[in-house]
Structure 1
Amino acid sequence: MAEKKANPALMKPLTPSPELAAVVGSDPLPRPEVVSKVWDYIKKHDLQNPQNKREIIADEKLQPVFGKDRVTMFEMNKHLSRHLHS
């Protein structure tokens, strides 16, 4: 069976915006690593809605990234994309 290789475009380091850097740091990171760090932050600060784990409640650092108080985990990547630059 052939080994599955990571898509090189996904592994390209991207620079986070100042708003996103407040959560993940300012070093360029590949998109999957950014998403992982954001999830670590969400879990560390208990930002998932206890009644609906798919919903993320933005704190003062995530609000500028998401642009609103709450997002679903599916919306999150769309908002993160706006804050990542090559």
Structure 2
Amino acid sequence: MATKKKPSAFMKPVQVSETLAEIVGKGPMARTEVTKKLWDYIKRNKLQDPKNKRNINPDAKLAKVFGSPAAIDMFKMTSKVSKHLKDAELAHR
């Protein structure tokens, strides 16, 4: 009898804040999907710093998510975005 493998935390659906939904669309969706859509938005709008590819130069919508219009390191971006995500299972309780 095969045991069902528990999905990873990254694949668990999350609820997206209204601010972030303006960029990635309405949730719930997996964290990996949020990240993919966020990067699609960044690339489509040419928000990656051409000289220092690690930095993101947010436009008005992204600045609302990050809480600042200042450039941000892509590795710090994750913590800012995670504040806009809630566990979808908890959101329905």
What are the equivalent positions in structure 2 for 1:25-64 lying under 5 Å apart?
A: 25-64=25-64
SS in 1 for 2:53: strand
Compare the two structures and name the one with the higher strand fraction.
1
| RMSD (Å), alpha carbons | 1.5
Alpha-carbon distance, 1:27 to partner: 2.2
SS in 2 for 1:11: coil
Alpha-carbon distance, 1:24 to partner: 0.3
Distance 1:71 1:7, change over 3 A: farther
Alpha-carbon distance, 1:47 to partner: 0.2
Alpha-carbon distance, 1:7 to partner: 4.9
Counterpart in 1 of 2:78?
77
Runs of 4+ in structure 1 deviating by more than 6 angstroms, as ranges, are none
TM-score, scaled relative to structure 2: 0.82
Alignment identity in percent? 48
From the CA coordinates, give the structure whose radius of gyration is larger: 2
> Aligned residue pairs: how many?
82
Distance 1:47 1:9, change over 3 A: same
Alpha-carbon distance, 1:10 to partner: 1.4
Task: Provide structure 1 residue ranges, at least 5 long, that are not aligned to the other structure.
Answer: none
Work out whether 1:23 is the aligned partner of 2:6.
no
